[in-house]
Amino acid sequence: MHSLPLPIDLGEFADIAVEAIGRAYDVNASRHEPEVGDDAVVFGMAIYRNSWFLLEQDVAELEGWTSSRPSGSLVIVGAGKRIHVYRCGQDGNVNLDDFRLDDERSSVTKQLLATTNTDQLSFDLGGQSVPALPVVAPQPDVLRELVIMHAGNPDEGCCGIWVGAPLSADEVTESPWAWNEPMWLPTDIALPQAESEPPQDHTPRHDEMPEPEITLMPVPPNANENTDSQ
């Protein structure tokens, strides 16, 4: 698995993040056992814990990056960004606009991510907080708080990994994201090449051989008599 080009430069971390999350899905898909009660909840919880653990292990070896768990939430810091990681669905048909970190039912940590980015796009004017322009499509590298989202299931494994900058949607824009981009999608896997022509020493199968031309000739009436007399 390799990360896709992003509008911001996360360096080696982008590849490391994609590999670690993909590994978590591969491991848990291979050991998923519905016969003993494993279900979507079990799978999702295992992905949540294992992906965080694998990311922490890999980040520890990456220069200029650190990880911690303030208030029990994973935060990865580097390249001037604070990156958070969450699972957002069970397959590739996810609508990222439905993944609202600013929802009142979200944890305080999640709500702070959107609020922090929103405040960063605002400036104080006459005691009122006015959105800085442009508010709909700010430069991708402006915002500090980023979220990596991933989706998948036991049958298909990882179905997609995305990264984006969340906003308080009600205050700034109809979308809860200043921007979001895919980091990895299943279509990034190289498709198998078309079969080449068989080599010269290849022994053709019966279905590879050309259909023979058959010519039917009438048999003379006395052909059997001549044969019997010999």
pLDDT in tens, 35-53: 999 999 999 999 999 999 9
Instruction: Give how far the C-alpha of residue 140 lies from the chain's centroid of Cα atoms, to the nearest Å.
Output: 20
What band does 124 get if pLDDT is binned at 50, 70 and 90?
very low
Confidence band for 160, pLDDT divided at 50, 70 and 90: very high
pLDDT of residue 210: 66
> If DSSP codes are grouped into helix, strand and coil, which group holds residue 190?
coil
177 - beta bridge partners? 166
pLDDT band for position 162 (cuts 50, 70, 90): very high
For residue 142, the model assigns a pLDDT of 81
- In this predicted structure, the answer to whether residue 29 has a pLDDT above a threshold of 90 is yes
CA distances from 140 to 41, 94, 130, 184, 185 (A): 34, 22, 20, 18, 20
Q: Which residues of 210-224 are buried (b: 16+ CB within 10 A; e: fewer)?
A: eeeeeeeeeeeeeee
129 Cβ neighbours under 8 A, 6+ residues apart: 119, 122, 123
Q: What is the mean pLDDT of the chain?
A: 78
Q: Which pLDDT score is estimated for 82?
A: 94
Q: What confidence category does residue 125 fall into, taking pLDDT thresholds of 50, 70 and 90?
A: very low
**Mean pLDDT, residues 140-158 taken together:** 92
Let me know: does 21 contact 150? Beta carbons within 8 Å. yes
Q: What is the pTM of this model?
A: 0.71
The one-letter code for the residue type at 95 is N
Distance CA 98, CA 116 (A): 20
Q: How confident is the model at residue 112 (pLDDT cuts 50, 70, 90)?
A: low
Would you state the pLDDT for residue 45? 95
Looking up tokens 């944890």 gives 107
Which of the pair, 221 or 90, is modelled with greater confidence?
Answer: 90
